[in-house]
Structure 1
Amino acid sequence: MFRPSNSQDNNDIKNFVAFTNCFSDMISRISIADSSIIYVSPSCKRLLGFTSQELLNHSLFDFVHPNDRLKVEQAFAVKTHDTDKVVYRMKRQEGDYIWVETTFCHYEYLESQDHEQYFCLTRDVTDLKLTEEQLKENQKKYRDLVEHSHDTIGVVTFDGCWIFINGSGKKLFGITRIGEMIGRSMFEFVKKQDHEKLETAINETIKQQSIQELRDITISRSDHEMRQTEIKMIPTSYKGRETIQVVLRDISDRKKTEEMLQQTEKLSVVGELAAGIAHEIRNPLTAVKGFAQLLKQHNYADVMLQELDRIEEIVNDLLILAKPQVTSTEVTDLIKIMNKTVTLMNPQAIMHNVTIQTQFSSEEIKVECEADQLKQVFINVIKNAIEAMENGGNINIYIDDYHHYVMLRFIDTGTGITPDRLKKLGEPFYSTKEKGTGLGLMTSKKIIENHHGQFNIDSKVNKGTTVTMTLPKSLATN
């Protein structure tokens, strides 16, 4: 029970007045009998926009939101000398409402006619309330997202035991109830061959506090059916406990689709190869067959041999493509191989009004190689360059000797190749020539790669094409 003292120090009164003027929270006394406002501190102006005089003798419920009135009435109905709290909305002078929290206690003020009163301390909690509501809304959205996700989303402890899993987990693991998973280890459902990867990912998630991803993890369902999955692990907290959120995506169907596409691709390549081989071999065979019938009357053996050589050339190209690596090598002078090739190709170049010029950084450059295969590459490249210059032109061949490798450049002044066609060069049976098979360039690239080298083509329309090759001097050098 509060009794004002006649001997109360004037300084205390001044301090109290200063406190109520500066304090942002509103102090008030409310009559229990009729809920009228008996006293309110000046801070009501900042909180509600009303002056103290404008609020005095008004009922508190004149300013309480209608939907919150019952809650406030019920809170004030309990007469206790202990403090209590109630959160509700109060109307401001401008007409809007703010959320407030009022801490109040019952006491008897003997000097007043309304001696039973509530002593109240009211503060603005609008921002806090809106934040709480936004948090609840976000939590609901997250719960809905997790529950309706096609991916399996769950939470595991640091030792991999499930403590939460969403409804999609039933489909992935082949279970009837979510409860069947709670408390069980992830390792029970992962194939043994993937245990080490899973354990490493869990440890890294804990240690680095970062997201870890696993691909192609095999899950064994409760019915022993196998599923391929991708797993993402995210450090999180669950009910105040440090845990790991696990997201599992079933990629079994995607894997099957990829395998089917790969198989279709293989069949497509086989079809292209079969068509190309049949076309290329059928032409010389037709000639051989025709001239064989006339062999009795005329000497067509030379023509037949040329066509048989053509068949042999195509078969050899295919064999080189299939051969995984160089089998028989010797240290050979690359300059000699190139000079022999140029001598061989010069007659064809002269017929097409093409000049072949060479420039070598050394008179002799020794490399470990299969000489005949490299000669075939040089022939293919020079032949392509000659055929690209219908009106004549120049082919410049440069060989530069570097310490461990050799660089070769074949530069022609032909019509060049457009960027879209340049991308397709090297594919089986794609050629820029009308009767080409594409095997020559494909074979050349394969030979250089088998020699641990690199093969690149750069071209500009109406300016020409540059073929660049690099070869290690020793096959033991990458």
Structure 2
Amino acid sequence: MLPYSVQRQDFAFEHAIIGMAIVSIDGEVLQVNSALCELLGCSKQELMDGALKATNIGGIQEVIRHKTGDFQLKPSQVTALQVGMKYEHPAGRNLDLKLHFSASAEAQSPFRHCLVQFENLTPVYELQEQLTQKEMKLVEKEEGFQQLLEELPLSALITKYGMIQYANQATLRLLHASNVSDVLGISTDVVVDPSSHHKLARRRTRYAEYREIGPVTYLIRCLDGQQKIVSGITLVTTYRGEKAALSIFKDITEQKMEEDRIMQSEKLTTAGQLAAGIAHEIRNPLTSINGFIKLLRSSEQSNKLYFDIIESELKRIELIVNELLVLSKPETSHVSKPFDVLGIVEQIVTLMKVQAALNNIEIIPRFPAEPVYVHGEANQLKQVFINLLKNAMEAMDQGGTITLTIQQSDSDVHIIVQDDGIGMTPEQIRSLGQPFYTTKDSGTGLGYMITKNIIHNHGGSIHVESSPEQGTSFTIQLPAL
């Protein structure tokens, strides 16, 4: 019976997870374990009968003879070497193997056999090959992507932590740069004008909180100091293995200038319409005044009726001038601040209730229980609500009800003024807002222009729905706080 230590060594050899063999100095396979049989696709008997010697692995005998002939081992000295080899598996696949040889000499005698461990490097090499292929594909994709960006007519730049890493030719032309090295490494804070830095900060905060960037419009400074307006979007991408931001921008400077020219032209057209309307509206009462003054000069005695007519026409001129002055006020600067629109509307209802009652009109409020806050100028919005309630009452000769509703959503506040008046045709609705157009017997038509301008200056909108004899509904939308 073998000693316990020998039995333990044999057990470890047989059950090792790596293929191992004991080979004599002459290349004879003395012993193999099960893991080696499984790795090489051979049985123990085939390996013991010389199958190992007949394959490429059989070259280990020559390697051992060559190495052992170069030196004389001293007692108890251990030597080891490694050899990489290709092995054609019986199943038809090639294996990359590394053979680890180790041998020891017992006291007073040279070594007669060595232990060979077979390390299968095929999975490692295959993984390395896959990684190499993927890296090559990534490089090809990145090169193709950059080529696409170079051909793009829009400005494209890639940034990391706010620093420019890449810029295409369109970006160089936009910034008036002669070479890409002029912009690489520059912070976006330098390119973006200080007046737009708050937009940069807001986008960075939005990305940090919601992982969203979205579209933006910037005022930028070119390398020669020229200012331009650009509009575009930013996407999160990967550049050279790291997360980066890809921004695509379009120069809209000329477009903005053209829009400003069109707006200025529209203002001049509106001013011309106003001037024509003013001339027409004021000429009529002036003609009446002039005529009655001539009559008074030729008359031997004063006529009270003439004075009443003159006074009435002068009041009409005063009304027109006052409304024109109010029309100009929304264009001037005013102090905006948050306020409760519910409280403002309640004040207006209280103010108008007496006049409504005299005309047999009931104002029905439908307000939420909680305050409703908007940002703006309270006195100007008071003017809006007064105008709408006055229009509603003047459209109801026979009395009726005016429903005043306030609704709030997450982003908007809606104030709805609905009456039971005579209503309007689609043609009349389309004409609303034109200077001196009115559906009332007396009026200048400027009240609705004033209302629209104030709402527009507060970032809101107004919508009209009406049918003849079915009443009219004005809906004001304002941004909610």
Aligned residue for 2:400? 396
Aligned residue for 2:317? 311
Q: Distance in 1 between matches of 2:138 and 2:405?
A: 70
Amino acid of the structure 1 residue aligned with 2:243:
E
Task: Give aligned pairs, total.
Answer: 345
Match of 1:198 among 172, 197, 200: 200
Distance 1:134 1:199, change over 3 A: same
Cα distance, 1:276 vs structure 2? 1.2
Distance 1:139 1:272, change over 3 A: same
Q: Distance in 1 between matches of 2:453 and 2:199?
A: 39
Distance 1:458 1:267, change over 3 A: closer
Q: Give 5+ residue unaligned stretches, structure 1.
A: 20-80, 85-100, 106-120, 122-126, 343-356, 363-367, 387-393, 471-477
Amino acid of the structure 2 residue aligned with 1:313:
L
Aligned residue for 1:242? 243
What SS does the aligned partner of 1:296 have?
helix
The 8 Å contact of residues 356 and 363 in structure 2, kept in 1 or not, is answered as: no
Cα distance, 1:254 vs structure 2? 2.4
Cα distance, 1:277 vs structure 2? 0.9
Q: Distance in 1 between matches of 2:189 and 2:385?
A: 55
Which aligned pairs between 1:191-340 and structure 2 lie closer than 5 A?
Answer: 191-195=193-197, 197-198=199-200, 201-202=203-204, 205=207, 207=208, 210-213=211-214, 215-230=216-231, 232-298=233-299, 299=303, 301=306, 302-323=308-329, 334-340=352-358
Q: Distance in 2 between matches of 1:232 and 1:431?
A: 45
Aligned residue for 2:157? 154
Match of 2:424 among 410, 417, 432: 417
Matched, 1:164 2:170: no
Q: Distance in 2 between matches of 1:455 and 1:211?
A: 28
Amino acid of the structure 1 residue aligned with 2:291:
G
What SS does the aligned partner of 1:228 have?
strand
The 8 Å contact of residues 272 and 429 in structure 1, kept in 2 or not, is answered as: no
Cα distance, 1:281 vs structure 2? 0.8
Q: Distance in 1 between matches of 2:218 and 2:454?
A: 38
Q: Distance in 1 between matches of 2:387 and 2:202?
A: 51
Cα distance, 1:409 vs structure 2? 5.6
Percent identity among equivalent residues? 26
Name the stretch that deviates more: 299-308 or 222-231.
Answer: 299-308
Cα distance, 1:179 vs structure 2? 2.0
What SS does the aligned partner of 1:464 have?
coil
Q: Distance in 1 between matches of 2:211 and 2:405?
A: 50
Q: Give 5+ residue unaligned stretches, structure 2.
A: 1-26, 44-82, 87-92, 98-121, 123-129, 335-343, 366-377, 407-414
What SS does the aligned partner of 2:297 have?
coil
The 8 Å contact of residues 418 and 460 in structure 1, kept in 2 or not, is answered as: yes
Name the stretch that deviates more: 263-272 or 458-467.
Answer: 458-467
Deviations 1:399-438 (A, max 9, x none): 8899xxx9976412x3x32456435534433445799742
Match of 1:429 among 430, 436, 452: 436
Aligned residue for 1:350? none
Distance 1:245 1:375, change over 3 A: closer
Alpha-carbon RMSD: 5.8
Name the stretch that deviates more: 249-258 or 226-235.
Answer: 226-235
Amino acid of the structure 2 residue aligned with 1:222:
L
Q: Distance in 2 between matches of 1:185 and 1:369?
A: 45
Amino acid of the structure 2 residue aligned with 1:417:
M
The 8 Å contact of residues 361 and 393 in structure 2, kept in 1 or not, is answered as: no
- TM-score (structure 1 length as normaliser): 0.52
- TM-score (structure 2 length as normaliser): 0.52
Distance 1:129 1:441, change over 3 A: same
More helix, by proportion: 2
Q: Distance in 2 between matches of 1:284 and 1:231?
A: 55
Match of 1:143 among 132, 142, 146: 146
Q: Distance in 1 between matches of 2:393 and 2:244?
A: 66
Deviations 1:320-349 (A, max 9, x none): 3345699xx999764433344x3xxxxxxx
